[in-house]
Chains A and B, each alone.
Chain A
């Protein structure tokens, strides 16, 4: 058999490794800042771009797409080359991929801080960046498939299956969820509205967790764990079941983010059933990982890399057990909208993604720099500080979530709500403080790692092109031919062929997506319309866009669930038909502040005026930041016609030609609010943003009150 000589590209691996460290630090610092802001409103610094609502998306996007994203690419570029026994397909594509991804991250940070957001969690980036992401992702895909096709290893190891499934599913999710209609160079409206938007968003959001934070990292686990433990995976059969069952089931589970909401009931139930079934493959994967260490647990005692891996895999197991539990409606009734969700995602982010990334960095950097790790002891210290950090982060958040949910639901003997919303917030502030201490510890561990890796890199020199050799695939063809006649042949038809694997993965994930999404779009009865629900006025629409820009949805939900306490606290529960003109929906996923679905008409304009300027003046003890710039900024009326036209295109029934009339109506409504405020001795500047925001807040959830009440005749018919 003729042996070919070739070189692995380690430079690109190094670049992604350094990028994951850099963005990890940035993302975690942003996380720490918002953790402190929650109990110290002064830490918002009174500036638009340092306020919670804008920094929080920077934190989530930086951690998911910059830290884990670069970590994923580091793992893929290292393992794929070796599993394929081939250099990456094209060095230029590798470079475009790397620098393109970093450009996306920088653009994302700048635009998010500037307030350009689509208002959909984890998909906040605006349309030009969405297009750039798609292009760079395709470059990554070509580079990956090119490498697989020119490989010198006949079999595709299971890690590569996970990479392929990741690529195709993220492509599908990104394209479907990013359907938006631009009305300016940096702003757009979601193509979908209300319930449909919510379903697509959480189909995306859940599967972003599944296919960006989980499947690529499972692929990485299946490669690096055997390497670090120096033994093969416990059961390859189990890994195959893990793969297919996981990708097939995950895609259905999105609606568990929308339990008890206005989403049709059948879609909620479907989400619950598939979420519970997910335990099986997830735990199959976790056990497969942990059993790989059978007979090697003595190594775990000494090796910090294995320590990180064991905790990472255990955290994977814990969060994938907890996820299905949280999908059970009765559990979800307690946990949803509380800090429990925050604890849950951080077990995954800090434990699974964070620790697996650190273990790989400790394993990989010394190898590509051809030198031992500078200090094993520092790595062990990092492990312990990080672990204590995770515990100090998550336990207070579980506690806070459970406590707050119980307080929300508490009634007095007289049948009234026992606690004001604000009391349930101030009660859990000690937990918020403890959580930020956990965050500080975790981040300190990362700084120890930065130092350790810096010293390692200094001591060694990069093996940019690592020599390797393997026989060409053609010379192995003869061997394959003889296998054609044995019973394995038909399995190979999928297993060893990347394009088949791609198509099969696409079919597996598309079935779930189609069956889940299509009925909600096609069937009228799923979204009963309410005649009283009308489009927003131009001023309200502008106000809504300010609400989105400031990230209000990150702390305030707009979804009253049909529970006694929520109806008593907020008002009538939300109906699907109320949101048909909401591009995008703003249901939110967390109540750091109270729900706003029925805030319209609840307080006078003057209350909102004072509250947005100095929240503590109206609600002593409130943790909300002030929004003083809204009192100076003028509404951008130049864009109003374009906004109205975009809404008309999306099917919102404004009259034809209304775009030209819109600003006159806007000015008139603003003047009315301004005059009303003046009567209460409050001076609002003409056409200032605060007027638009007040108009929007006073409108939210009020249409349904104007709906005609059913008559006796109608009820008896």
Chain B
């Protein structure tokens, strides 16, 4: 039940900050590559969906 002092020692809390930035950076680069390599014709088709109904 107690949410305090579960584990007494985890050293190097910096790792949480660093890993967060690394995860985001990797994720962002991957996503950008995905978006940039997407097929334009197909994206255009999806883009027109709201206007098709």
Chain A interface residues toward B at CB < 8 A: 79, 82-83, 85, 153, 155, 157-159, 191-193, 196, 222-223, 226-227, 230-233, 236-237, 240-241, 244-245, 248-249, 252, 264, 266, 269-270, 273-274, 277, 468, 486-488, 491, 508, 511-512, 515-516, 519, 521-527, 580, 649-651
Contacts and interface: CB of A to CB of B under 8 A. Distances in A.
Contact of A155 (B23, B36, B45): B45
A193 B50 contact: no
A651 B6 CA distance: 12
A527 to B, nearest CB: 6
24 contacts: A82-B50, A82-B53, A83-B49, A83-B53, A153-B49, A155-B46, A236-B47, A237-B35, A237-B38, A240-B31, A245-B28, A245-B31, A248-B27, A270-B16, A270-B20, A487-B37, A491-B34, A511-B20, A511-B23, A515-B19, A519-B16, A522-B7, A523-B9, A649-B1
A519 B13 CA distance: 8
B36 to A, nearest CB: 7
The 8 A-B residue pairs with the shortest CB-CB distance, nearest first, are A651-B2, A236-B47, A82-B53, A232-B47, A157-B49, A226-B50, A236-B43, A155-B46
Contacts of B2: 650-651
Contacts of B48: 232
Interface string B2-41: 1111111110011011011101100110011011111100
Given A226-B50, A232-B50, A241-B35, A249 B3 contact: no
A269 B6 contact: no
Contact of B4 (A226, A486, A651): A651
Given A240-B35, A487-B37, A522-B7, A157 B50 contact: yes
Given A266-B13, A519-B10, A650-B2, 19 more contacts: A155-B45, A158-B46, A192-B3, A227-B51, A231-B51, A232-B51, A233-B47, A237-B43, A248-B24, A270-B16, A486-B39, A488-B39, A515-B19, A524-B4, A524-B5, A524-B8, A524-B9, A527-B4, A651-B2
A526 B13 contact: yes
Interface of B: 1-10, 13-14, 16-17, 19-21, 23-24, 27-28, 31-32, 34-39, 42-51, 53
A468 B52 CA distance: 12
Contacts of B20: 252, 270, 274, 511-512, 515-516
Given A245-B31, A249-B24, A196 B39 contact: no
Contacts of A270: 16-17, 20
A252 B21 CA distance: 11
A217 B7 CA distance: 41
Most-contacted residue by chain B among A159, A193, A524 (CB, 10 A)? A524
Contacts of B35: 237, 240-241
A449 B46 CA distance: 34
B3 A651 contact: yes
A521 B3 contact: yes
Nearest to B27: A248
A488 B42 contact: yes
Contacts of B5: 524
Contacts of A83: 49-50, 53
A237 B9 contact: no
A43 B43 CA distance: 56
A487 B3 contact: no
B8 A230 contact: no
A85 B47 contact: no
A527 B4 CA distance: 8
A226 B6 CA distance: 52
B44 to A, nearest CB: 7
A222 B51 CA distance: 11
Among the interface residues B23, B48, B53, which one has the most CB atoms of the partner chain A within 10 A? B53
B33 to A, nearest CB: 11
Nearest to A79: B50
Contact of B38 (A85, A491, A508): A491
Contacts of A524: 4-5, 7-9
A512 B8 CA distance: 23
Contact of A523 (B13, B21, B43, B46): B13
A241 B32 contact: yes
Contacts of A527: 4
Contacts of A266: 13-14, 16-17
